[in-house]
Structure 1
Amino acid sequence: MKTQNWFKQMTKRVLIAGLLVSLAGTGFGVKEEANAAERQPIKVEFVHGSKKMTINGKAQQMTAPLPVVKGVTMIPVRTIAASVGASVYADSKGTHIDTYFNKVTLNNNMRGANRNGSYVVLPNAATQINGTMHVPLSAVKLLWNATYVFNAQLKQISITIQPEPNVPPVARFEAPYEVKLGEPIEFKDLSYDPDGKIVKTEWTGRKSTYFEPGVYTVTQSVYDNDGARSEVVSQDIRVTEEVMYTPYEYYMRYGNPGDKFEVDGKLMNTFKEVDTIESKGGRTLYMSNAPERFFGEGLLYEDTLNDASRLFLHHRNGSDERLKLAVVVTNNESESVKLTIGNRGLAGPSVSAMQFGSAAVARYFASSQPREMIIEPGTSAVLLPELEKIIMNPDEGFSGLLDVDMDGKLTFSTMALKVDTDPISAVSMVTELEKVGNRGKFFDTDQYIEVNEKVGVTESKLRLGQRGPAMAGVDALTGGMTINGGEYGAVTTVKLKNVAWGTRIILNPRAGIFQGAVSVNGKVVYVPSGGHVKVGEGALIYTQPNQPAGAAGMQPAPEVTIQYSSPGASSLPILFVFFPGSDYK
């Protein structure tokens, strides 16, 4: 039997606009998710003469105090609906307040009500007051599994509603039974939760397409907001030997940012290099990467900074004990200095340098809330207390990239320390570790590249990596020159001013395996989305939209801005390669 015959889609009722306005205007109408998730008794409290009320202790504001009609306290139905997560709608039969197990129908100015198909006589009539249905207080016992207590001294009404049992969610999906190699596959998720909402979906075997013939089993299960799991449902998909698209053809048409696939690296290297306008400037770079692998406590690097700067830290614990990194900032001047920590990315501990190197760059591009510190004269402070919580076991490493701004001179000391060592006490006592690798201070490290020619008309490329003299700096601990050949810690901003509609942009590494991240128009793209990408592979990082119809299509296509920073353990050069969208319609 085919999937479409297994079930019918759930039909959702539409709420009457007037009721929605009433609920929204008083802050109700949204299910109290925490209450539903806990499945604990729900307590609703009112105070006569006050607009305030609480649902399970959470304060709410009503538009007016509880009305009293002929000596009878009236309760707005919206409060009950909000507390139990009921849907409220109206039709020719009346006003309905429905949960999975309890369905109530009320009619204005009538004592008769319907609960789960049974007729119920209320002590007083349900009444519309200011556009909202109300019921007498005593009716809550008849219409819901509830009790109430009135405290005359406090003028307080407490209603306790017993929770309904949870109904597990239902997992259901539709998918084709037979597809070709490289054929796009649409999965229709038809799962639902009868009395709550689905908060998590788990799949196995699901792919957007398949590139090997055979039979693939896809399973699905879902979880609701009470933690209940559905039964597992499955379906087999047969993939024939007929080819619709190769991996390259498929991902260039339907790929998402971060998808990787095989490319002709030699051919792409022959593509025309785009014309550029370039400049350098930006932040001073403080690089602590030598020794990359340390074998005990000691000073990794120390230097002074007094302007807009960026710290690049990349180290691994080579000892047989657990160690941590710490950065201490010292003010040796006569006036206080304000230090602002801007964008930052910290990653680790991990045994995979590619993993923590790429994660640090991705988190840096994701932006951070600024943090300010005042460093008084003659004092020291820990730059990032959270860094000390990253404890590295033997062979684990860490990478960090962070912007710092200051209005005076400060000394930054990066140290490897034992877990219990106090960084402030250690900063004046630790000995310098042997330099193995690169470290130092570098000026004007950020690169700005503007491309004004139209890209995406024909194949073309932009190569990053040593687009000029090598990045040279000074090691403050030795006084000697140092070279940052990988341009680690530097940020390159590429502005593509004229990108043809439909253009595909991929990143292709040229110096071995690569795992990193870029920012494209402010959005972080992992390169690739999983694992790493090789010289013979490319990762899609951006697809320019297709040209829209009408007047909108006569406007220039959007500009594209790409930001790149070399992740630790990956190397330059890389290529940004531009492909015409017309080839993949």
Structure 2
Amino acid sequence: MLRRNAAVKWLLLAFVLVVSQVLGTAGAKAVSATSHYVLLYLDHKEAVVGSETVMLDVAPTIFDGSTYVPARFVGETLGFSVEWNGETRTIEMKPRGHDIVLSADNQTIVQDGINLPFSSVARIVDGTLLVKLTWLADLTGVPYTYNNELRRVEMLVLNSPEGIYIIDQQNSKPVAKFTTSKKVYRPGEPVKYIDLSYDPDAEGLVEFNWKGKQDTFFASGKYTISLQVADAHGNKSAVYTDSILVEGPEYLSEFEFPIYNKPVGSFIKVGWDSYYRYFDQIPELDKTVSYDSSRTLLVSDSPEEIRQPGILYEDTINGKSRLYAHHINLSGQSVTFMVYATNLSDKPVTLTTTNKGEVWPTIYANIMGNEATTEFLNDRSPESKLVIPAGKTYVYSQMPVFLPGQGANVIYDVESDGPLKISFVAQDTANQRPLKELQYRMELDHVRGTYSSADQTWDLDLNRQMENPMKLQIGNNKSDPFLVGYDAVSKTPSTNYGNWGVKYDIHIKNPPKMAIMLMAKGGIFKGPVKINGEIVLVPQSGVLSAFDGVIMLGRTTGTEETLDIEFSPPGASNLPVDIIMYPLRDLQ
């Protein structure tokens, strides 16, 4: 029976210690310290620490003429840890310079390697560990007196801070510290964190471990944030803790917060509830569309899958043209993709390349389209010239070998000063043949043809006005119809489903204060958008799935004269896409 009671008391003691550890005060130790009085009253649970009154789990009690007090309270007051070790079923106390292990199972105490009788310095009362006050006070050097008239113990405590210098490493522990721009924020208001951490050895910090840190908090309440840092030696700082209060009227809703604050290029997840509430019924903006017929467009994307060598597409150009090709090698052998230029005149013709987009052969279709379109929209390619003698055929472009499964996307803006025949060709790498001996490939599984306009401009004037979200939709074959042209090889009409190779220049005058975002609607999408001269990758990595969310393309302040958006459908992506204009209000 006695052993059962002792076991029950020991379990209660362990529970009290674990709970007290969880509920212990948070924060970082200050650099300096000040002294304060601690007053303990015999047979009373009230104690005084400095200017505060605290309640003890068990009142101080006298056993055999000595005062015993709760161990947890003494540890917190004198500045050392009192912890339960579940593996060894012991309580560990670590006054500075000492190591104490208490075992109720064995009724022993080990102090700095020396065994002491449990009952000589410790007792268990109502499941709480009490320790002999004079024992721990003497170990820690804390002065104390007993006031017989008031029946209380009076201690003068100076919790001198623990040093951070590690002698055997000749290195200091780093110091974690931070603050926020203010103590009180509104729900949905961005929280500005200011990191004040430092390394006393000036070697830099390599690890920051935050807990509770968020960009904002949407519910009112008090929030605790902590930070621990580490240096290059693996030394970790003490945990620094602070809190902020969130209250008052809503600043931004959970839906609006990322629209106002996420960096350009960020992905913003949109659930179906949010989609139907905010994006499903967005009306399209009116626009004026003009087509630039000065540059023709040749598209070689059929057969998209190369299964045999041959001429994939061919037509003539004279003047400005855009050459667009997207092909994948499924022939089972290595092929070489080439673009030939044949001079159809009786004098030399110069073919000038003013811009281009290319990609190294890859098995990933979305990478083909993304990389080639990015280089093309970036428009940084140096101009080059190729002079083709009368009646001669030259290789204008030759890509690296396509291994089975690999492919590429190419876009060339060219200008010729005479008539040229352009041939898009897949050659057997091991057995290349003259162009005139190659057969035309007539498998039409995708888009192929020549179109009268490679560029189109959309003009809008928003006059600084926009009360609700609006959008522009690209590639829907309704408000943005697909180009209709002619297949010069099959001698049949051709529709450019997807407007591949087309460059859109969207010119918006007097834009209001707004966010500009892109949402995929037709399926997987991966490609660039150019906003006021800067490339934004959609998305920055991976692919964007239809209806899954939006990519932040940019924001306007409402003071710009114009907003310019450049876009070209990236190969292997799916259309349509929505360019969403979301008005932003002035936040107070």
Q: TM-score, length-normalised on structure 2?
A: 0.57
- What is the letter of the counterpart of residue 382 of structure 2? Q
Tell me if structure 2 keeps the 8 A contact 1:518–1:564. Answer: yes
**What CA distance in whole angstroms lies between the structure 1 residues aligned with 2:235 and 2:346?**
70
Tell me if structure 1 keeps the 8 A contact 2:177–2:196. Answer: no
In the TM superposition, residue 443 of structure 1 has moved relative to its aligned partner by 0.7
Tell me if structure 2 keeps the 8 A contact 1:449–1:493. Answer: yes
| Unmatched tracts of structure 2, length 5 or more | 1-25, 32-173, 218-222
RMSD between aligned alpha carbons? 4.4
1:557 to 560, 563, 569: 560
1:48-197 alignment to 2 at 5 Å?
Answer: none
Please tell me whether residue 460 in structure 1 is matched to residue 470 in structure 2.
yes
**What CA distance in whole angstroms lies between the structure 2 residues aligned with 1:233 and 1:410?**
70
Please tell me whether residue 418 in structure 1 is matched to residue 421 in structure 2.
no
| Unmatched tracts of structure 1, length 5 or more | 7-171, 222-229, 548-555
1:498 to 486, 510, 517: 510
1:341 to 350, 353, 368: 353
**What CA distance in whole angstroms lies between the structure 2 residues aligned with 1:519 and 1:448?**
14
> Per the alignment, in what secondary structure is the counterpart of residue 482 of structure 1?
strand
In the TM superposition, residue 5 of structure 1 has moved relative to its aligned partner by 9.9
Q: Hey, what does 2:387 align to over in structure 1?
A: 374
In the TM superposition, residue 262 of structure 1 has moved relative to its aligned partner by 2.4
> Per the alignment, in what secondary structure is the counterpart of residue 410 of structure 2?
strand
**What CA distance in whole angstroms lies between the structure 2 residues aligned with 1:218 and 1:2?**
11
Please tell me whether residue 513 in structure 1 is matched to residue 524 in structure 2.
yes
Distance 1:286 1:210, change over 3 A: farther
Tell me if structure 2 keeps the 8 A contact 1:258–1:525. Answer: yes
**What CA distance in whole angstroms lies between the structure 2 residues aligned with 1:439 and 1:173?**
65
Please tell me whether residue 543 in structure 1 is matched to residue 555 in structure 2.
yes
**What CA distance in whole angstroms lies between the structure 2 residues aligned with 1:486 and 1:176?**
52
Q: Hey, what does 1:272 align to over in structure 2?
A: 283
Q: Hey, what does 2:459 align to over in structure 1?
A: 450
Please tell me whether residue 254 in structure 1 is matched to residue 261 in structure 2.
yes
Tell me if structure 2 keeps the 8 A contact 1:345–1:362. Answer: yes
Please tell me whether residue 405 in structure 1 is matched to residue 415 in structure 2.
yes
Q: Hey, what does 2:538 align to over in structure 1?
A: 527
Tell me if structure 1 keeps the 8 A contact 2:179–2:193. Answer: no
In the TM superposition, residue 459 of structure 1 has moved relative to its aligned partner by 1.6
**What CA distance in whole angstroms lies between the structure 2 residues aligned with 1:339 and 1:2?**
72
Please tell me whether residue 576 in structure 1 is matched to residue 584 in structure 2.
no
> Per the alignment, in what secondary structure is the counterpart of residue 251 of structure 1?
helix
Distance 1:529 1:188, change over 3 A: farther
1:393 to 403, 411, 418: 403
Give the total of aligned pairs: 394
In the TM superposition, residue 451 of structure 1 has moved relative to its aligned partner by 0.6
Deviations 1:501-554 (A, max 9, x none): 3x1011112212211111111111111222222323111111113x6xxxxxxx
Q: Hey, what does 1:289 align to over in structure 2?
A: 301
In the TM superposition, residue 280 of structure 1 has moved relative to its aligned partner by 1.2
Deviations 1:258-295 (A, max 9, x none): 21112344442422322222211242111010111112
Distance 1:392 1:544, change over 3 A: same
**What CA distance in whole angstroms lies between the structure 2 residues aligned with 1:237 and 1:515?**
42
Deviations 1:165-188 (A, max 9, x none): xxxxxxx99786999999667686
- What is the letter of the counterpart of residue 369 of structure 1? P
> Per the alignment, in what secondary structure is the counterpart of residue 350 of structure 1?
coil
2:435 to 406, 427, 431: 427
Distance 1:560 1:378, change over 3 A: same
Distance 1:231 1:290, change over 3 A: farther
In the TM superposition, residue 363 of structure 1 has moved relative to its aligned partner by 1.0
Tell me if structure 2 keeps the 8 A contact 1:517–1:526. Answer: yes
Deviations 1:391-435 (A, max 9, x none): 32222221112211111111111112233555xx53222222233
**What CA distance in whole angstroms lies between the structure 1 residues aligned with 2:175 and 2:426?**
52
> Per the alignment, in what secondary structure is the counterpart of residue 350 of structure 2?
strand
Tell me if structure 1 keeps the 8 A contact 2:177–2:227. Answer: no
Please tell me whether residue 484 in structure 1 is matched to residue 499 in structure 2.
no
> Per the alignment, in what secondary structure is the counterpart of residue 392 of structure 1?
coil
Tell me if structure 2 keeps the 8 A contact 1:252–1:584. Answer: no
**What CA distance in whole angstroms lies between the structure 1 residues aligned with 2:421 and 2:512?**
48
1:190-339 alignment to 2 at 5 Å?
Answer: 248-263=255-270, 264-266=274-276, 267-282=278-293, 283-339=295-351
In the TM superposition, residue 299 of structure 1 has moved relative to its aligned partner by 1.4
In the TM superposition, residue 320 of structure 1 has moved relative to its aligned partner by 2.2
Q: Hey, what does 1:152 align to over in structure 2?
A: none
In the TM superposition, residue 217 of structure 1 has moved relative to its aligned partner by 11
**What CA distance in whole angstroms lies between the structure 2 residues aligned with 1:336 and 1:566?**
35
Distance 1:251 1:189, change over 3 A: farther
**What CA distance in whole angstroms lies between the structure 2 residues aligned with 1:352 and 1:384?**
22
- What is the letter of the counterpart of residue 428 of structure 1? K
Distance 1:440 1:257, change over 3 A: same
> Per the alignment, in what secondary structure is the counterpart of residue 395 of structure 1?
coil
Of the structure 1 ranges 303-312 and 459-468, higher mean CA displacement relative to structure 2 is found in 459-468
Tell me if structure 1 keeps the 8 A contact 2:344–2:390. Answer: yes
**What CA distance in whole angstroms lies between the structure 2 residues aligned with 1:444 and 1:293?**
26
Q: Hey, what does 1:109 align to over in structure 2?
A: none
**Structure number, greater radius of gyration:** 2
Distance 1:544 1:469, change over 3 A: closer
In the TM superposition, residue 316 of structure 1 has moved relative to its aligned partner by 0.8
**What CA distance in whole angstroms lies between the structure 1 residues aligned with 2:371 and 2:526?**
9
**What CA distance in whole angstroms lies between the structure 2 residues aligned with 1:380 and 1:203?**
63
Distance 1:232 1:449, change over 3 A: farther
- What is the letter of the counterpart of residue 331 of structure 1? N
Q: Hey, what does 1:383 align to over in structure 2?
A: 396
**What CA distance in whole angstroms lies between the structure 2 residues aligned with 1:191 and 1:342?**
52
**What CA distance in whole angstroms lies between the structure 1 residues aligned with 2:224 and 2:334?**
48
- What is the letter of the counterpart of residue 259 of structure 1? S
> Per the alignment, in what secondary structure is the counterpart of residue 272 of structure 1?
coil
Tell me if structure 2 keeps the 8 A contact 1:174–1:187. Answer: no
Q: TM-score, length-normalised on structure 1?
A: 0.58
Distance 1:331 1:583, change over 3 A: same
